[in-house]
Structures are given as C-alpha cells and as structure tokens.
C-alpha cells in the first residue's frame, strides 16, 4: 500500500513504520503508550467483511504486533480494537497497556495524556526490531540525530 492511499488523518496522527504482508504499520505520534495502527490494503471498512484468507492474514499481522509489544517492549496487556467511527478507512488499533500508564484502566480514547513524541532513534530502533521479528518492509523515517518538526 502506498502512503498516498492511507487516510490523511492517520498519516497526520502517526509515523509510517513500514509494511507487513497484509497491512501498513503505523505508530501513533503520542509516545505515552505504544499505540500501533495497522491499515489493511482494502476498500472495505469492516474487518469482519474481509474474505476469510485476507482476514486471517490481517489478524496474523495484528498478532505479530501484539507479540512485539509483549516480547520486545515488555507489556503484559494488549488492547485490540477496530472502530472506524471517525476515520472511515479500515484500521486496527493494537495498544500496549499497563496499570502504570496514564489512562489505566480507562480506554485510551479521550483519556491519553500527552506523552510527547518519539525521538528518531527510538523509531529507527523499533523499526529495526520489527524487521528482525516480523520481516517488516520499512518506510523511510527521519534519520537519527536529524531535526524533526514539532509534533
């Protein structure tokens, strides 16, 4: 999927880390929590409407990101949701949660504190980890040490 095919609101809210077999992997710019948003390459708006094989591939990508959040980032709990009420393009939320996060036990929507933004070094490190663990095909990110626009 080309970045130009991703809804502008998702691109404004997220870093585009790269692609997995069935989804584009985005990371919410607010670094308060590891909030990944996966965008399947489809015009359908609901994941349950996908053909069985396509849905399985999308769920495999989501499970891989969940495993990354648990195994690499050390979270015990992952929230998973497919809402699409504001952004009509199908996108799936995979979010690392813990009792220590700023909005626990509430949902992240409407409760997420400002966690600042990710440093380019952190984005590149997670992208490299995802390449090793899930064979992520990376998108270009800001270089480590480069100036980054305020978020």
Summarize pLDDT for 5-55 with one digit per residue, the tens.
999 999 999 999 999 999 999 999 999 999 999 999 999 999 999 999 999
What domains can you pick out in the chain, each with its CATH number?
A: 3-138 (3.30.428.10)
In percent, how much of the chain has pLDDT > 90? 85
Q: Is 58 exposed, middle or buried (0-12, 13-18, 19+ CB in 10 A)?
A: buried
Residue 97: CB partners within 8 Å, gap ≥ 6?
33, 75, 77, 78, 79, 104, 108
C-alpha span between 135 and 21 (Å, rounded):
9
- Structure tokens, 70: 């648990």
Q: Are 13 and 29 in contact (CB under 8 A)?
A: yes
Q: Are 78 and 94 in contact (CB under 8 A)?
A: yes
Mean pLDDT for all residues in the chain = 92
- pLDDT at residue 84, rounded to an integer: 85
Residue 69 has pLDDT above 80, yes or no: yes
Alpha helix (H) residue ranges in the chain: 8-13, 52-71, 120-134
- pLDDT at residue 1, rounded to an integer: 60
């Amino acid at each position: 999927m080309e970045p130009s095919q991703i809804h502008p609101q998702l691109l404004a809210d997220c870093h585009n880390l790269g692609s997995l077999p069935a989804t584009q992997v985005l990371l919410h710019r607010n670094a308060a929590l590891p909030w990944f948003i996966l965008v399947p390459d489809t015009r359908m708006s609901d994941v349950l409407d996908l053909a069985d094989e396509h849905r399985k591939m999308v769920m495999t990508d989501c499970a891989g990101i969940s495993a990354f959040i648990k195994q690499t980032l050390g979270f015990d709990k992952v929230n998973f949701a497919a809402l699409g009420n504001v952004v009509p393009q199908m996108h799936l939320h995979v979010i690392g949660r813990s009792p220590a996060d700023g909005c626990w036990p509430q949902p992240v929507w409407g409760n997420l504190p400002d966690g600042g933004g990710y440093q380019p070094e952190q984005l590149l490190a997670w992208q490299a980890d995802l390449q090793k663990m899930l064979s992520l095909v990376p998108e270009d990110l800001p270089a480590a040490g480069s100036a980054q626009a305020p978020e």
